[in-house]
Structure 1
Amino acid sequence: MVNQQAAVLPSRPAAEPVVVTGLGVAAPTGIGSASHWAATRSGVTGIGRITRFDPTRYPARLAGQIAGFDPAKHLPERLLPQTDRMTQLALMAADEALADAAVRPDELPSYSMGVVTASSSGGFEFGQNELRNLWSRGGKYVSAYQSFAWFYAVNSGQISIRHGMRGPSGVIVSDQAGGLDAVAQARRQIRKGTALVVSGGMDASICSWGWAAQLASGRLSTCDDPRRAYLPFDAAAAGQVSGEGGALLIMESLEHARARGAEVYGEIAGYASTFDPAPDSNGEPRLRQAAELALADAGVSPGEVDVVFADAAALPELDREEARVIREVFGPRGVPVTAPKTMTGRLNSGAAALDLATAFLALRHGAIPPTTNVRPAAEYDLDLVTTARPGPLRSALVLARGYGGFNSAMLIRTMHSETE
């Protein structure tokens, strides 16, 4: 039993709480955390027909796209030819998160700050453009920046260079689960003594090459109606809608945050990750184990969780499995469940990071954002929130699953001293 595994974890001294003091968001629902939260709470979708390339000949033609983003308004001109759209969004979000946390990196020791991000696709669009140059014009027309602009670790590298952050850094690649896994790695580095870490995930691969790669999964919805294309936990669910964007968070120890008088969103209180057995092994999926071990890591019971942010695959078999896990951990209709990614699509490595940022905003503003357009199927027996539900919130569990068997769960909560 998973509960038995959680119960026999060795005891350890209480670790210094790791908290979030800043949020930076780039999402189809808005640029900036305030715009994103206003749209998300109101149920405004960012999903529509693809405009970044002509999708007519593709079976899936909808995506969550970020409108109105002009990198020239946010970044130095010298960076524009060096960076993919994904990195430009990440740099902008990092700037917002640092400003939100009232952090001036030039006032902190450079080796006391690190960057840990998640990436799923790397700089796909940049790579596509340079391959086009190679095929049509020749090798001398391929940008030297291709050597790193496509790379999974480029967001961590560019953020650290821009802000002089020379402490422990890295990149995590675990698809949709990556955002939680990166934040967990950042929490480990802070507990080892790093003062501040920028962490989260950002992806943007809505280009013809990137789209072909995503279609290969067989998971994308081919519906052309934005209101009916992505319907997790609905009897009509028939696939996912992809999107671009994500979120970055400023993380610190509680002691460091209080020493500089920072406002705190809340604590990264618990985390666990598991990996599913091989498909031909007849083994049980391990999302439940991740959820229960995350609760054990936080030292909370299921009854203390106020809301679950679901992974929400919108594929009947995967929805059925996730709903079963939620029922087994919390009881039938035992906890409110939401999937605000129905307004953004699934953002690859940015998905869980955006859910995490949205969960912190939900705790701060006292409202559970809705799962839009979904008519919950009775078979799932979930308390699925389909219109915004106001009320005091202290904790949230975020679930994430990555293609190929990755499972992650993260428990966040408010700091009582910050809210009472």
Structure 2
Amino acid sequence: MTAPTTGTASGAAPVITGMGIVAPTGIGVDTHWASVLAGKSGIGRIERFDPEGYPVRHAGQVPGFDARADVPSRLISQTDHWTHLALAAGQAALEDCGADLARIPEYEMAVVTSSSSGGTEFGQKEMTALYRNDPGWVGAYQSIAWFYAATTGQLSIRHKMRGPCGVLACEQAGGLDAIGQARRLTRKGARLVVTGGTDASLCPYGLTAQLTTGKLSTVADPERAYLPFDAEASGYLPGEGGAILVLESAEAAAERGAGSGYGRVLGYAAGFDPAPESGRPRALRRTAEAALRDAGLGPADIDVVFADAAGLPADDRDEAEAIAQVFGPRAVPVTAPKTLTGRLYGGGAPLDVATALLSLREGVVPATTGTREPAPGLEIDLVTGDAREARLRHALVLARGHGGFTSALVLGR
């Protein structure tokens, strides 16, 4: 279990000053937020390839994305769709934050992103060329485009950010881990860190790899396939996209008049589930409690929880029990707007963070669309039906990744 010491060198929490969103709910902050409030789903039949013959035929897809509008033409052919999404979101986030990058020393700007699988679509195309022909048909960019650190590298090159750079490959939990690492870097002298993540594995190879987990829902009706905490929960649907965020040290944000931006990163912790045969409890409760301690807050200070929401009965019960143990039965509103997008893996938690920040700003808890009949015995206050207005000060975002990764992030207005 990890939880960094609270506070930066000056004792002030870093600020999220910019957001770029490319998600099944839309491109751009305002479009995404409007879709979330309206409960407008971005899940539909997979269009990037013909899914006929696969047990899962629906996913969350970014509508109307055209890489040519936001990505330099040479990078389109050199990188994967997953990186295209991040480059577009990164450009939007930097424009949104308003920082003049030319005035910031290049070694005081950093990049940390999350990725679960790298450039699977690009990799499949090149490996198909190899198997059908010979090595001469494989492009030189295969060596970098598939690599899970490709997005971090391309963002840092494009924006001349030469500070510490890295990637967290912890599946769904990795998005929070990336933001946690970005916070560490602001404590070590970075003024601005581009963080968050995207993912895109909607290709035959990518979908087949996901099916091996046994966690994807094979329910044919897309509106009833992904129902976290529901009595009919049967797994989840995959998706593409995510969010890129700009995290600045409190000092840097204050110097240029950025104020508190969208909100502050107050606490973070990560854990790992013990082996199932050990009989020990899973790590989510302890991870959430560690994040609260790191933030210097108690359970009563948290006004909303953005759940991991795996959509699998056993995982949903584990998460509901952890939340009830930390906060008390039905003591805090819980929501999972990711039912509108599917699980986005490396991009899912950053998108949850973006949505949570908008919720804090607007004083609205979005609903968990689709879930109608909560599973019996789950003692959580799951927000369903309509969004709920509330006075919101702090949010807790939870994430779990395949294999046992767990992470928690505390945000403040």
Helix, strand or coil at the partner of 2:59 = strand
Distance 2:118 2:296 in 1: 36
AA at the equivalent of 1:394: R
Helix, strand or coil at the partner of 2:265 = strand
After superposition, give the CA deviation of every residue in 1:201-258 in whole Å (9 maximum; x if it has no partner).
1110100000000000000000121210000000000111110011111001111101
Q: CA deviation at 1:103?
A: 2.0
Alignment: residue pair count: 409
> Which of 285, 290, 298 pairs up with 1:288?
285
Helix, strand or coil at the partner of 1:271 = strand
In structure 1, the residue matched to 2:408 is 409
> Which of 376, 379, 397 pairs up with 2:377?
379
Q: CA deviation at 1:11?
A: 11
Structure 1, unmatched stretches of 5+, are 415-420
Q: How does 1:2-401 map to 2 (within 5 A)?
A: 15-263=11-259, 264-375=261-372, 376-386=374-384, 387-401=386-400
After superposition, give the CA deviation of every residue in 1:98-153 in whole Å (9 maximum; x if it has no partner).
01100232332111100000100100000000011112232112111111000010
Distance 1:97 1:156 in 2: 15
AA at the equivalent of 2:321: R
Q: CA deviation at 1:403?
A: 0.6
After superposition, give the CA deviation of every residue in 1:338-377 in whole Å (9 maximum; x if it has no partner).
0000000000111111100110111112211110010223
AA at the equivalent of 1:56: E
After superposition, give the CA deviation of every residue in 1:1-31 in whole Å (9 maximum; x if it has no partner).
x9xx99xx99998733111000011100001
C-alpha change, 1:106 and 1:141, in structure 2 (3 Å) is farther
Contact 1:71 1:80 in 2 (8 A): yes
AA at the equivalent of 2:125: N
Q: CA deviation at 1:283?
A: 1.4
C-alpha change, 1:215 and 1:300, in structure 2 (3 Å) is same
Contact 1:16 1:191 in 2 (8 A): no
C-alpha change, 1:180 and 1:12, in structure 2 (3 Å) is closer
AA at the equivalent of 2:91: D
Distance 1:74 1:139 in 2: 32
After superposition, give the CA deviation of every residue in 1:375-405 in whole Å (9 maximum; x if it has no partner).
2234112111112112221110000001111
Q: Which 4+ runs in 1 deviate beyond 6 A?
A: 9-14
Distance 1:249 1:160 in 2: 14
Distance 2:397 2:118 in 1: 24
After superposition, give the CA deviation of every residue in 1:237-286 in whole Å (9 maximum; x if it has no partner).
01111100111110011111010111511110001111111122111101
Contact 2:267 2:295 in 1 (8 A): yes
AA at the equivalent of 1:217: T
Contact 1:106 1:164 in 2 (8 A): no
After superposition, give the CA deviation of every residue in 1:22-45 in whole Å (9 maximum; x if it has no partner).
001110000111111110111000
Distance 1:45 1:371 in 2: 11
Normalising by structure 1, report the TM-score.
Answer: 0.95
Distance 1:80 1:58 in 2: 28
Q: CA RMSD in A?
A: 1.7
Aligned-residue sequence identity (percent) comes to: 57
Normalising by structure 2, report the TM-score.
Answer: 0.96
Distance 1:10 1:367 in 2: 28
